[in-house]
Amino acid sequence: MPLDLAATLITLALAQPSAGTAPAPTPDAAPAETQSPGVQPAYGSPQPAAQPYAQPQTQAPISQSPGATQSGDMSATSPAPDAPPAEATDARGGARAGAAPVIGPMPTKEYVTEVNRYARGPNLGVEFGMWGTGMINGLKTDIGWGKRLGQFLGTRVSFRYFTPLRFEGAFDPLLFASVELFGRSPVLMGVARLYGGGGVFFGGRPSPQSPGDAFGVTGGGHMGFEFFLNRKFSFTLELGGQGPMHVRSYDAGVSVVGGVVFYFVRT
């Protein structure tokens, strides 16, 4: 018993800390705050570390899946393919320079019929061209033989003034008329037709400067092409020949005559 009591006292004495010694701080314990509140720390005293400022997130996070950058992200960020350029047109809706030319419409059946209804009626034309060794200027009219035959047959009456370009002595022109019969085709596609005819030429010299007859009669013929710009207006080109009417035969030879024709009556 006395031995057990003595051992207990010795154990308590060894476990009791000595006076004036502070207990050692544990390694994980934070340092005690020794500064009173409201008092600034002295220069050189340790300061708490500043926390970094969190930046706001301005873009969507990048997906980590492999397919995201191949499909969704590429479609959102890549530009759309260029659209094909529109055809350049002016303010009136027509194509500007550099664009394909605009071709006019083809003749319709109604248009062709309308052109032929005028083309088989009477007309009035002006003609000029080479005639033998000189040139002529004149007026002419073609008169069809009715509504049915007039498309194929008719009579031409013309008045011409002949001017010799090469002559002997004084200037000696010729004034004459002609009556001719002709045949012609319909106006094909409302654009062109072929015709031809011939007849009698008669006239004389208004102021004879050479001896001989002042009056003469001869004959001649022609073949021609007529090109219609519209139902009432056309151009003609004729190739032909004629005998002499002038006493010096200035007018005999080949003729190449062009002209314009106007149609006024719809048959």
Q: What is the pLDDT along the chain (267 residues), one digit of tens a residue?
A: 556 666 676 766 666 555 445 455 554 544 544 444 444 544 445 555 555 555 555 555 454 544 444 444 444 455 555 555 555 555 555 555 556 666 777 889 999 999 999 999 999 999 999 999 999 999 999 999 988 899 999 999 999 999 999 877 788 899 999 999 999 999 999 999 999 999 999 999 988 877 888 899 999 999 999 999 999 999 999 999 999 998 889 999 999 999 999 999 998
DSSP bridge pairs for 95? 89
For domain 110-263, the CATH class is mainly beta
Beta strands in 119-204 (DSSP E): 123-131, 134-144, 153-164, 174-184, 192-204
The pTM of this model reads 0.60
Structural element, H or E, at residue 164: strand 153-164
Which residue type occupies 246?
Answer: H
pLDDT of residue 98: 59
pLDDT of residue 63: 47
Cα distances from 180 to residues 50, 113, 161, 177, in angstroms, run 121, 27, 17, 10
R_g of the chain computed on alpha carbons:
59
Cβ partners under 8 Å of residue 202, min gap 6: 176, 177, 178, 215, 216, 217, 218, 245
pLDDT of residue 92: 57
pLDDT of residue 168: 77
Structural element, H or E, at residue 15: helix 2-15
Rounded to whole angstroms, the Cα distance separating 1 from 7 reads 10
- Annotated domain spans of the chain: 110-263
Up-side HSE of residue 181: CA atoms within 13 Å toward CB?
Answer: 3
Dihedral sign, CA of 237, 248, 158, 152?
A: negative
pLDDT of residue 76: 46
Contact 163, 132 (CB under 8 A): no
DSSP bridge pairs for 139? 126, 159
